[in-house]
Amino acid sequence: MPTPTTKKFTPEIDAQLYDEFVSVAEQNGQTKRHVLEQALKFYLHNVVPSQHLVRPEVMDAFEHSVTRNRDLLERLAK
């Protein structure tokens, strides 16, 4: 079976998120590449399609409401 074509890229990400990512890979005996590829596949196949289930104007209104009421929402969360 032929080796899949790969692309090399070097993104800069949040240091704490990177540490968590490396820790998960190590705990599961997986390579960082494997964990990253699985995360990207999940995002592209599950998250992105679900973002189109709600009309954009509804999401805009929701995001505006969250921004406007952030202090209240944070107090309620406590």
Is 22's pLDDT higher than 90? yes
- Residue pLDDT, tens place only, 32-47: 999 999 999 999 998 8
**Model-level pTM?**
0.59
Q: How far apart are CA 28 and CA 11, in angstroms?
A: 23
Average of pLDDT values for 18-23? 95
Domain membership flag for residue 36: yes
Domain membership flag for residue 7: no
Domains in the chain, number: 1
Domain membership flag for residue 25: yes
Which residue segment(s) compose the domain that 21 sits in?
Answer: 15-77
Domain membership flag for residue 6: no
Q: Quick one: pLDDT at residue 68?
A: 94
Domain membership flag for residue 50: yes
Is 1's pLDDT higher than 80? no
What's the mean per-residue pLDDT of the chain?
Answer: 90
